[in-house]
Amino acid sequence: MNTTNTMNACERIAFIGLGHMGGPMAANLVKNGFSVSAFDLSGAALSAARAAGVTIAPSAAAAVEGASVVVSMLPASRHVEALFLGEDGLLARMATGALVIDCSTIAPASAQRVAHAAQARGLAMLDAPVSGGTAGAAAGTLTFIVGGETTALERARPVLSAMGRNIFHMGASGAGQVAKLCNNMALGVIMAVTGEALALGVSHGLDPQALSDMMAVSTGRSWATEVCNPWPGVKPEAPASRGYSGGFGNDLMLKDLGLAVEAALQVGAAVPLGELARNLYALNSRAGRGGLDFSSVQELLLSPR
Ligand code: NAD
């Protein structure tokens, strides 16, 4: 955590997108002494951020006025491109030399499009998607997975450090998004196969708790067995133990797997398990669980309820 409040106050930050992740991230910037002007299209998101001490601007354009850093945390590629690009986009309104840090998970090609447009206007841009979920956003312990110029990252470091604990520089523009998609593709596959293993064991009469406890210290261990176990009651803090509410939405995982498959097509890579997992989360969404935590894919394999 960065606690040099007076120094931070010199950096004026615009924060666009105050949802599940962006709201607590903006609040952590304020807690760390940054001057933040924020905007979201949703009234509920604005109220929550205001209650957490974030100053709200009347529009995204007003938020970026006089800002030296603009942080965005939006749902998908189309939202990010619509916000920054074009004659009315934010890039056209930002002061020369300002820095864009986009923390949304979007297509690597989309991040590169915005970065090139930023560069053409004398602005710097980093793709900095995150890992750590809503709990990490609230606690200020996110991992930032960054693509872009080293000089831009050094400038962004105090801002990122106020919202997270780990920063990985993966390479040039778009590399942060590629790395994030690799991580989430592995996560999506591991969660699905963990649910499948638990379903198999329970079908044979095994106790899901005993099976999970064994797997958590054996070679089948993972974040899915140890922390976000998909079987209700095995881990009291996991979304599965509260009806799969909160956590990382099935449809966000579906989006990330779609981006991973798209990225694979671009370079002719084979991602057979990623494609299979994408289909499983699509079926889970069609079964009405799109808004639930992605571990609810367990119900597709064997309903524990
Ligand atoms: P969210 O839907 O809760 O928040 C997105 C916010 O963006 C919403 O409040 C929406 O109103 C706002 N918005 C959309 N278009 C806008 C615009 N033009 N101007 C201003 N505001 C606008 O989503 P989230 O869970 O906060 O996720 C944000 C991003 O972070 C996604 O790309 C997601 O994949 C990624 N992510 C999420 C998690 C998680 O656990 N939720 C974890 C890691 C990464």
Determine contact, residues 143/130, Cβ cutoff 8 Å.
yes
Question: Is residue 8 pLDDT above 70, yes or no?
Answer: no
Q: In testing the pocket of ligand 1, which one of 20, 134, 183, 228 has its CB within 8 Å of the most ligand atoms?
A: 20
- Ligand 1 center from residue 23 Cα (angstroms): 9
End-to-end CA distance of the chain: 41
Question: Is residue 3 pLDDT above 50, yes or no?
Answer: no
Alpha-carbon distance values, 109 to 81, 232, 263 (Å):
11, 38, 9
Confidence of residue 176 (pLDDT cuts 50, 70, 90): very high
Question: Is residue 305 pLDDT above 90, yes or no?
Answer: no
State the average pLDDT over residues 59-64: 97
Determine contact, residues 85/117, Cβ cutoff 8 Å.
yes
Regarding the beta carbon of 16 and ligand 1, being less than 6 Å apart is answered yes
Residue ranges covered by each domain of the chain? 3-172, 178-301
What does the pLDDT read at residue 1? Answer: 43
Nearest CA to ligand 1 atom 30: 104
What does the pLDDT read at residue 246? Answer: 86
Q: Of all residues in the chain, what percent carry a pLDDT higher than 90?
A: 93
Confirm whether 255 is a catalytic residue: no
Regarding the beta carbon of 21 and ligand 1, being less than 6 Å apart is answered yes
Distance in angstroms (rounded) separating the CA atoms of residues 189 and 265: 18
Regarding the beta carbon of 145 and ligand 1, being less than 6 Å apart is answered no
Q: Does 178-301 carry CATH code 1.10.1040.10?
A: yes
Domain 3-172 CATH (choose: 3.40.718.10, 3.40.50.2300, 3.40.50.720, 3.90.550.10): 3.40.50.720
Question: Is residue 113 pLDDT above 60, yes or no?
Answer: yes
Confidence of residue 304 (pLDDT cuts 50, 70, 90): low
> Based on C-alpha coordinates, what's the Rg of the chain?
20
Confidence of residue 244 (pLDDT cuts 50, 70, 90): very high
Regarding the beta carbon of 142 and ligand 1, being less than 6 Å apart is answered no
- Ligand 1 atom nearest the C-alpha of 129 is 44
Annotate 190-237 with DSSP letters as a single string. Answer: HHHHHHHHHHHHHHTT--HHHHHHHHHTSTT--HHHHTS-SSTTTSTT
Alpha-carbon distance values, 204 to 138, 198, 241 (Å):
40, 10, 22
Regarding the beta carbon of 32 and ligand 1, being less than 6 Å apart is answered no
Closest Cα to residue 276, out of 188, 178, 158, 153?
A: 188
What does the pLDDT read at residue 11? Answer: 80
Question: Is residue 181 pLDDT above 70, yes or no?
Answer: yes
